[in-house]
Amino acid sequence: MPGNAAKQGRDHDVTKDKWILGWFDRLLGRERDAVALALYDGVIASARAPHWYEAGGVPDTLDGRFDMVAAILALVLLRLEGDASAGPASARLTERFVTDMDGQLRESGVGDIGVGKHIGKMMGMLGGRLGAYRDGLAAGDLETALVRNLYRGVTPAPAALAHTQAALFALRDALAATPAAALIDGRMP
């Protein structure tokens, strides 16, 4: 019996420690970041798929990769908007995007003073893309939005544009068919 009491005491200490660590994680935002991390990782993996750059003609440059991430992120945010089951996933996903871009800018040598300005510009670009892609998806034609936002004003070869447009429509449809909980867990279609 004495060993049993000691085990119960250790179990209580472990439970208490988990509760305290969970509280610190919530306080420091780690829990929130973990929720968004899986979905954000899925967005990044989708944006890195070679077909965007090979068949789709998206420039395989820093700007081209940012533009592709922004396109995929916009589709995911559009999918989550208005879905009550998604909870605060959109806000957390956007926060994760900002955190990632902040780190990327710092790694590339942008100083503290310039990071905020660049992040503001990137958020403006993401907001513009959300509107452009929302309108293009509703109209059934993403060509104008893609040329302006993904190809930065340079019209790609017709086959590349057709590939990218078809792939983004297919992604939109696959996202619509995926439950929000699965997306939040990082299970991108």
1 in a domain, yes or no? Answer: no
Q: Which two tokens stand for residue 131?
A: 């509107």
d(C-alpha 45, C-alpha 107), whole Å: 20
142 in a domain, yes or no? Answer: yes
Domain count for the chain, please give it.
1
pLDDT digits (tens, 9 = 90+) for 86-106: 878 878 888 887 777 776 766
d(C-alpha 106, C-alpha 140), whole Å: 38
6 in a domain, yes or no? Answer: no
For 124, the domain range is 31-184
d(C-alpha 132, C-alpha 115), whole Å: 25
d(C-alpha 102, C-alpha 112), whole Å: 10
The predicted model scores a pTM of: 0.76
pLDDT digits (tens, 9 = 90+) for 123-152: 777 888 899 999 999 999 999 999 999 999
21 in a domain, yes or no? Answer: no
Which pLDDT belongs to residue 88? 81
Give the chain's length: 189
Which pLDDT belongs to residue 18? 44
189 in a domain, yes or no? Answer: no
- pLDDT of residue 121 exceeding 90, the answer is no
16 in a domain, yes or no? Answer: no
25 in a domain, yes or no? Answer: no
84 in a domain, yes or no? Answer: yes
Q: What are phi and psi of 7, to 5 degrees?
A: -65, -40
